[in-house]
A and B are shown apart, each in its own frame.
Chain A
């Protein structure tokens, strides 16, 4: 594999990591708010808090990793996306800032307020919507470069069916992933009432997720035929994705093996995400920027890859420790610690 491909793969893995952990977090925020207004808060609040409190900061780092890493590996992305995305990027920063800090204020400041809860819920849906604009733009046609000036075409962005399709897909996926995880977590916590609530959430978001997924798949065909035909070549990966989706939903529906069901959901998104990503190559920004012309020099690439491997050797044991203490420690999950 060339350095370019290693680089983009590393980054894509981190983005996938963010997709999963952030979806859990974003969805949990929404469910927490939703249960607040439907007076079911006491039922699900506990498991949401117990899981999220120790890990929220870790979630954020995945994202930072991605956008710092992409500038390291592909410095030219800073130029194109940086110039074009001033407004959506700033909006995302503000939403992330409000979300992160108000979560901490509510949790550690120990005050339960309606405002905090609302901010936490609303940002959970708005952030994925604003972040996915980057993926939308990368398909081409939303951005023009004339004599060195990069400009985003807001009219095009806000009126295209594809871009709205992606937004909805992002929101539904967030809710589905999150509910599938919370179902598993509630079952580990042996919290029956919470399990009933979140299981219902998982089942109700399964349908919208897969339907928008399929719709967006075909909308992309109109938007970027090159990318679409590359994706068709990888049809089997989307096939696996669909099969794992069905299997996960059936398990949850039959109230069995929630852990396996969540792993299947992760596989569902892994295959779809990587099929989408590898079909997108070599373009980082269609048709302006490919991974080859935007790549950093070899010395930096090698240094970053070594740093990455060294970093992983440090992080993986630490993450395992974190998970053993909070995710797989039955006493903690059940609230006995």
Chain B
């Protein structure tokens, strides 16, 4: 198929990338949106403002649809890992089975409370009781992100076992789970899930406002998402910086690949954009002096290990540079936009609802998803050629089965169908039942006048 020779390793990699890349969209929403729902419901209770409660309610309704796709694609990954990477899973089962197992408990917990939460909006007398139900959902979702990310951390810095004559011994599941990659990785993954979700919901509010739909409901939504977004964006940049320092210490080859940094040196510059010539010369790039040394070690005279210090066949492909730059660039953009919005709404004289800023916010949602994807591409491809860093090469982990190509075609079709229907269903759901209708139905229409337009 596709004119080149069948290689189960290549197809397993492409199919895994496809499934993970698709799942991560829904997983990110699944981790982040419950927190946003919780914040909105809390504001609704504290300020006694039904707009926020309605916000929580409508977000939750959209959320279930994305959860459904998250669940089914997650199930696909879980099975596919064994189907496509049997040798890897055999090794992983011995060492990192614990967090994989715990992740399922976290889902279970989340799933139970999600079921309860959705069907009990009007069932309790006290609103606080219903709010309490969202807490286990937030905890369950973030806990599952925590557990699965420790698995990914293990693949980057495997520890907690010994190999004696090719046999795994002395396994310590906790040491494997709390590997050096875990702190920064988990923190960065979870905070970016929050960030992305805040921006996606912000995009929706911004688009309504751009379309001239000036209801206070949308303004409150925008304000809520952008204030949270600003907090998350700054935290993301801080933790991202710590991730860089982690790479410097534990995976210098990944950092060097991201930065096209060939010679080991101090006072290393940071390279933005550019292209790489045949003989590894960087052209047309923006160089920020000392910045890489500062990112990696905190001071300009930190020594940054270069690519030339590693054996050629253990280097990741150098195009990960673009993925890294894209992620960081978007991170900067998101901080800028959200902080600008917060500052402008804080100064009474300025109008944060101007068209250019609204457009910039509207672009933020899709862009943050692009950052998630490029971040993962960077982290995963940057680990190549290893599936378990330094222990097992990717090709050793893969299945030997024929027919992975056919499965690939099947799954592409499946994800296209799922993605399209999901989008169509979400659109129809909210089109058929616009906010204005629902406000009226719930007897909140008179509040329209409070709008300061």
Interface residues of A (CB under 8 A from B): 53-55, 57-58, 60-61, 63-65, 67-69, 71-76, 78-83, 85-87, 89-90, 92-94, 96-98, 100-105, 108-111, 149, 296-297, 299-300, 303-304, 307-308, 311, 314-315, 318-319, 321-322, 325-326, 337
Contact = CB atoms under 8 A, between A and B. Distances in A.
B15 to A, nearest CB: 9
A71 B86 CA distance: 10
B65 A109 contact: yes
B64 interface: yes
Interface in B98-149: 98, 100-105, 107-109, 111-116, 118-120, 123, 136
Contact of A300 (B75, B83, B97): B97
Given A81-B82, A322-B115, A337-B123, 15 more contacts: A57-B115, A68-B100, A75-B90, A75-B93, A86-B404, A97-B72, A100-B75, A101-B69, A109-B425, A109-B429, A297-B94, A297-B168, A297-B171, A304-B97, A304-B101
A98 B71 CA distance: 11
B173 A71 contact: no
A94 B414 contact: yes
A317 to B, nearest CB: 10
Nearest to A151: B401
8 contacts: A55-B115, A69-B104, A73-B93, A79-B87, A296-B93, A300-B173, A304-B98, A325-B116
A61 B101 contact: no
Nearest to B114: A57
Interface residues of B, number: 75
Contacts of B238: none
A314 B109 contact: yes
B102 A67 contact: no
Given A97-B75, A109-B429, A319-B112, A78 B89 contact: yes
Nearest to B428: A109
A87 B79 CA distance: 12
Interface in B16-31: none
Contacts of A326: 115-116, 119
A154 to B, nearest CB: 11
B116 A149 contact: no
A63 B417 CA distance: 23
B116 A303 contact: no
Contacts of B172: 299
A104 B97 contact: no
B446 to A, nearest CB: 27
B274 to A, nearest CB: 41
Contacts of B418: 97, 101
B69 A58 contact: no
B390 interface: no
Contact of A71 (B73, B82, B84, B425): B82
Instruction: Identify whether the interface residues of B are mostly helix, strand, loop, or mixed.
Output: helix
A322 B108 CA distance: 12
B98 A303 contact: yes
B207 to A, nearest CB: 20
Contact of B109 (A53, A89, A318): A318
B233 to A, nearest CB: 31
A300 B411 contact: no
B69, B86, B115: most-surrounded residue (chain A CB, <10 A)? B86
A79 B116 contact: no
Interface in B410-426: 410-411, 414, 417-418, 421-422, 425-426
Instruction: Identify whether the interface residues of A are mostly helix, strand, loop, or mixed.
Output: helix
Contact of A67 (B79, B86, B168): B79
Contact of A72 (B69, B98, B169): B98
B400 interface: yes
A321 B94 contact: no
A61 B119 CA distance: 19
Contacts of B426: 109
A31 B92 CA distance: 41
B67 interface: yes
Nearest to A109: B425
Given A296-B93, A296-B97, A307-B101, A93 B111 contact: no
A149 B401 CA distance: 8
A54 B118 contact: yes
Contact of A311 (B97, B102, B115, B403): B102
B105 A307 contact: yes
Given A86-B403, A315-B108, A72 B80 contact: no
A319 B72 CA distance: 21
Contacts of B225: none
Given A78-B86, A97-B418, A297-B171, A58 B116 contact: no
A93 B68 contact: no
A110 B73 CA distance: 22
A87 B119 contact: no
A71 B87 CA distance: 11
A59 to B, nearest CB: 9
A72 B173 CA distance: 11
B165 to A, nearest CB: 15
A104 B64 contact: yes
A68 B401 contact: no
A108 B114 CA distance: 14
B276 interface: no
Nearest to A296: B94
A80 B87 CA distance: 10
B65 A108 contact: yes
A78 B95 CA distance: 14
Given A82-B89, A86-B401, A105 B97 contact: no
B426 to A, nearest CB: 8
B65, B83, B97, B114: most-surrounded residue (chain A CB, <10 A)? B97
A82 B88 CA distance: 11
B448 interface: no
Contacts of A63: 75
A92 B115 CA distance: 24
B67 A57 contact: yes
B411 A94 contact: yes
B174 interface: yes
Contact of A299 (B75, B111, B173): B173
